Structure 1
Amino acid sequence: MLRQTCRHLGFTLAEVLITLGIIGVVAAMTIPTLSTNIRNKELQAQLKKTYSEWNQVSMQFMDDHEQSIPDYASENGTTGLIKEIPKYVKGVSKFSDWGYGVKDENGDNTTTMPYRIYAMKGGRTIPPCDAYGFRNDISGKTILFDDSPQSGFNGPRLCIDLNGDKRPNTMGIDIFSFQFTTDGHVIPEGTEHPNNRYRDVHSGGTVKASPTYCRGDNGQYNTLACTYYAIHDISPTGHGTYWKDYIGKKQYK
């Protein structure tokens, strides 16, 4: 029947099969790219929403306590701050006590985390918020906090995995970091602010936006400034956008 139909339409069976093969190859090439682009647009929207939500948390906290989160944390520590967070974020619950120094029998930090986290270029890594465990909110995001700031400086660092333990679980793609500010806001890490502490990045400090701090290499602090580029949708390379080009076309490789 297929052979007769092909003759009627003026095509040979071989020509039809070749055409179907070409269609299959094109689909195999384009569908993964299309899926990645859709995923990246969803993550971009989630990041902007998360940024807005945590700004509301920070401003409401300042109204209630008559001091900013950095001021509160510098007086009461990050542990004291974390006790207040459930008043502002629905459904927060701790599901892992992991922190820097929690290692397996081979001295590896990454295997003791509740789920695997990756660098852009591959390879397991640990998040830059590494001291106070893993928490979920009601939407399924993973929330992590870092060390409390020195008095008068911004902090602590806030790390968010936008879709929790769902893949890709990759720094700079679905895991981003922010800083609480002394004027009652949250800023994408890499954003300049007069009360940022630009030293001791491992203990309350932060960085300015630069390609050095948004690259795909394995390393705890190599993607700190990716949040700045992702929010503004600017490629760290200076060419194109963050989501379509830097992430979508893998400019980081």
Structure 2
Amino acid sequence: MKKSFTLAEVLITLGIIGVVAAMTLPSLIGNYKKIETVTMLKKAYSEISQALKMAEVDNEFMEEWNFTAFENPDERVHHFFDYYLKPYIGTLKVCEPLEVGCMSDKIQHLDGINERPHAAGKMSFITKSGYSVLFWIHGDGTGGHFIIDTNGPHRQPNTYGKDIFRFILTFKNSSNVYADTAGYSKGLKAFGAVDGVTREELTGGNVSHAGLKPNYGCKSGLMGLYCAALIIYDNWEMRNDYPR
């Protein structure tokens, strides 16, 4: 007759399983969240980039887009949205400047400092894909900024490098026309991804490129504004040294 397990043996086995699960589950969940975030970030970047390319097909090339005639920042951002984004990207909700509802009214940096993203001249929208976007256009007509929330405005943590990521749009290859766009090639690029940038610069190390700031780096204790650039630099991956 086969010998059955004793109660003590069963309890010991279950205890071992519980210990192993407690040790491995947090890591598995963390890795899943990383993959989920990067997948949505890549989708958002792809959809917005494609929308801008389609806008160039239907209108003139991006180099010819002119916003200097708009003194009112709200008119400027509306013109950009109506002509170059709205027809080419699916939206569930669109929010006017200063309207809260499409983007969290408080975004946290990796160093714990809070940022209030809403202001005049900044529109936001929620896409059918589930991510939300807040953006504005520079008054000198050189480009603009995009803030992407990969899981939408109503889910935490609303923190740079975790579910909030910044991008910059440059209408043409830029040198010194504007402090933020200096060194960026044409199109939508991750904030910090200037031509020739190094991984050390993106993580707050020695900065040699004009316009880059060490405190913007993707590292715990810094602001985390360059985290999208770091992920793309690392071939769309959050590596082991990526801030938790």
Q: Which moved more, 1:39-48 or 1:57-66?
A: 57-66
Does 1:24 pair with 2:13? no
Q: Kindly indicate which of the two structures has a greater share of residues assigned to strand.
A: 2
* Separation (CA, whole Å) in 2 of partners of 1:70 and 1:223: 32
How high is the TM-score relative to the length of structure 2? Answer: 0.69
Which letter does structure 1 place at the counterpart of 2:241?
Y
CA contact (8 A) 2:106 2:116 kept: no
Aligned residues: 208
Moved over 3 A (4+): 69-76, 95-99, 113-121, 127-131, 206-212
Structure 1 residues 171 and 163: alpha-carbon distance in aligned structure 2, compared to 1, 3 A threshold? same
Alignment of 1:55-134 (within 5 A): 55-68=49-62, 71-76=65-70, 77-84=76-83, 85-91=85-91, 93-95=93-95, 97-98=97-98, 114=104, 117-120=107-110, 123=112, 125-126=114-115, 130-131=119-120, 132-134=122-124
| TM-score with structure 1 setting the length | 0.67
Structure 2, gaps ≥5 residues long: 71-75, 173-185, 197-209
Are the aligned partners of 1:94 and 1:134 in contact in 2 as well (CA < 8 Å)? yes
Once residues 217 and 116 of structure 2 are traced to their aligned partners in structure 1, the CA distance between those partners, rounded to angstroms, is 14
- 2:94 partner letter: K
Partner residue in 1 for 2:232: 231
Aligned-CA RMSD value? 3.5
Contact 1:40–1:243 at 8 Å: present in 2 too? yes
Q: Is the 8 A contact 1:129 1:157 kept in 2?
A: no
Query: How far did residue 64 of structure 1 move?
Result: 2.5
Unaligned 5+ runs, structure 1? 103-112, 195-205, 235-240
Q: CA deviation at 1:147?
A: 4.4
Q: Percent identity?
A: 31
CA contact under 8 A between 1:58 and 1:69: conserved in structure 2?
no
Alpha-carbon separation, structure 1, partners of 2:106 and 2:219: 19
Letter in 2 for 1:170: T
* Letter matched to residue 156 of structure 1: G
Whichever structure has more helix as a proportion of its residues is: 1
Distance 2:211 2:64 in 1: 17
2:142 corresponds to 1:141: no
